[in-house]
Homo-oligomer: A and B are copies of this chain.
Amino acid sequence: MVAVIDLDAARAARERIDNLTKPQGSLGRIEDLAVQLAAIAGAVPDRPYTRKAILIGAGDHGVAHEGVSAYPQEVTGQMVGAFNAGLGAINAFARVSGADVYVADFGCACAITAGERCFDLNVRRGTRNFAREAALTGEEVQRALDAGKAAFRRIAQGGIDVLALGDMGIANTTCAAAIIAALTGAPVDAVVGRGTGIDEHGLQRKRNVIASSLARFADRDWQTVAREIGGLEILGLAGATIAAAQSRVPVVIDGVIVSAAAVLACAVEPNVQGYLIASHLSVEPGHRAALAHLGLSPLFDLQLRLGEATGAALALPMIEAATRMVCEMRTFAELGVATKLA
């Protein structure tokens, strides 16, 4: 069960923030973030959120064989290797805010060398090709969700203030776009983008693959969509999101893949919505539809489209700033600063 966020704590946070030595509302969305963090935790934060973790869910997609990606499938495993060696973009970004980077293999096609921060939670060596058949069985869907919950529990062992999510998986923008179209009702053409950079021809192929796959089945409940489309890292990320919300830990979502996972997680457990923080607006068009469906407003738009939690990582300092504002600033009365003129 995921609890409803705590509106009493939200009100208490707003009251404190309104009395800090600054004009009311002058820290805009940073104030809103602090209020949300209080609602999530069930109390006004009393120390800065410095314990940051990033989880990258990795998985492969049978639909890659339809020529929907600009890169070959082997890149998924190679990039997991780069993350484990600390050489990916996300490792560089994580160092800025002192976040720990974890990788979970939820469904890579190749074998991954597990380690202290790289979890072997492989459900299957890539999904089936959803252009031709159901990507997963119902049991595989459940195992992927459970794997995500297990990943969260391992990360949270040492204590955690905030979880940022990211993805790695060749062809996963095709999968994410299909999930978003199916679960939000957005038209296929409005949610399909170039991913890592396919050409016009590839883009049309990608649209056709998604449209014909969605025409294969009529039901739009999350179980059917998850089975028919996949993917394993997306379901793993959805599971991690649900587990974090159950533990009252805020979840920072990244681009279109993690947002598809968030849409799935909210379909499974609607109360999850209150625990989500949207970091950036991606170039990938399906992201906008997913965020609108989730009722979330991104904090920034830096024209990112990499994934790996790179956008989410850039929001972590803003979240820490929101908690420091609440904990480390003083009120007008506490500091003896003159208040607003009557």
Contact = CB atoms under 8 A, between A and B. Distances in A.
12 contacts: A21-B79, A23-B196, A23-B306, A28-B303, A29-B303, A30-B310, A70-B340, A71-B338, A87-B329, A95-B324, A97-B317, A300-B301
Interface of A: 20-30, 48, 69-72, 74-75, 78-79, 81-82, 86-89, 91-93, 95-97, 196-197, 283, 299-306, 310, 313-314, 317-318, 320-321, 324-325, 327-330, 335-341
Contacts of A321: 92-93, 96, 313-314
Contacts of A304: 26-30
A286 to B, nearest CB: 16
Contacts of A22: 89, 306
Contacts of A302: 27-30, 299-300, 318
Given A82-B337, A283-B28, A337-B82, A92 B303 contact: no
Contacts of A95: 48, 324, 328
A24 B197 contact: yes
Contact of A305 (B26, B71, B96): B26
What are the nearest 8 A-B pairs in CB distance? A28-B303, A300-B300, A92-B324, A26-B306, A317-B317, A23-B196, A29-B302, A92-B328
Contacts of A96: 48, 97, 317, 320-321, 324
Contacts of A82: 21, 330, 335, 337
B28 A328 contact: no
A302 B78 CA distance: 37
B317 A27 contact: no
